[in-house]
């Protein structure tokens, strides 16, 4: 199931207020401005049509690690002991996908993660 959004060109007639063109884009192409999020990575570099590729895996790991470092000022995501660790939590992770290293996920889970990767955040538990 593909989630489509629309990119509206700002070519409006001054008097009529008519949108002259609409370009369809995939949700993975719509990225917030870096100044809004503080992130320095670019999700548009990920080829979502190849969720099982080594290149995609490496980029997802890099982005996840960057999010972890920015969110909790931590060094390494404790994937192996995530269920038992208490200092950190992941926010907006998918309910139907267990949080673990990307390479351990099934293909359908990887696709879901790619589709929502930009929304995931890490925080310290209080």
Give residues with Cβ within 8 angstroms of 72, minimum separation 6.
Answer: 87, 88, 122, 123, 124
pLDDT digits (tens, 9 = 90+) for 8-58: 444 444 444 443 334 444 444 434 444 444 545 666 778 888 999 999 999
Domains of the chain: 1-30 (no CATH), 32-124 (3.90.1460)
pLDDT at 60: 94
Nearest Cα to 109, choosing from 97, 100, 119? 97
pLDDT digits (tens, 9 = 90+) for 65-113: 999 999 999 889 999 999 999 999 999 999 999 999 999 999 999 999 9
Strand locations in the chain (E): 4-8, 22-26, 88-91, 121-124
Side-chain half-sphere of 106: how many Cα atoms within 13 Å?
A: 5
């Amino acid at each position: 199931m593909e989630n489509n959004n629309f990119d509206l060109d700002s070519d409006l007639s001054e008097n009529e207020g008519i949108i002259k063109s609409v370009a369809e884009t995939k949700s993975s192409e719509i990225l917030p401005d870096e100044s809004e999020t503080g992130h320095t990575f670019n999700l548009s570099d990920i080829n979502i049509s190849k969720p099982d590729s080594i290149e995609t895996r490496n980029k997802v790991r890099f982005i996840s690690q960057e999010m972890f470092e920015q969110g909790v000022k931590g060094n390494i995501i404790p994937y192996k002991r995530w269920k038992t660790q208490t200092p950190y939590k992941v926010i907006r992770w998918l309910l139907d996908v267990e949080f673990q290293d990307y390479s351990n996920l099934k293909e359908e889970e990887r696709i879901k993660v790619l589709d929502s990767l930009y929304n995931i955040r890490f925080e310290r538990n209080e």
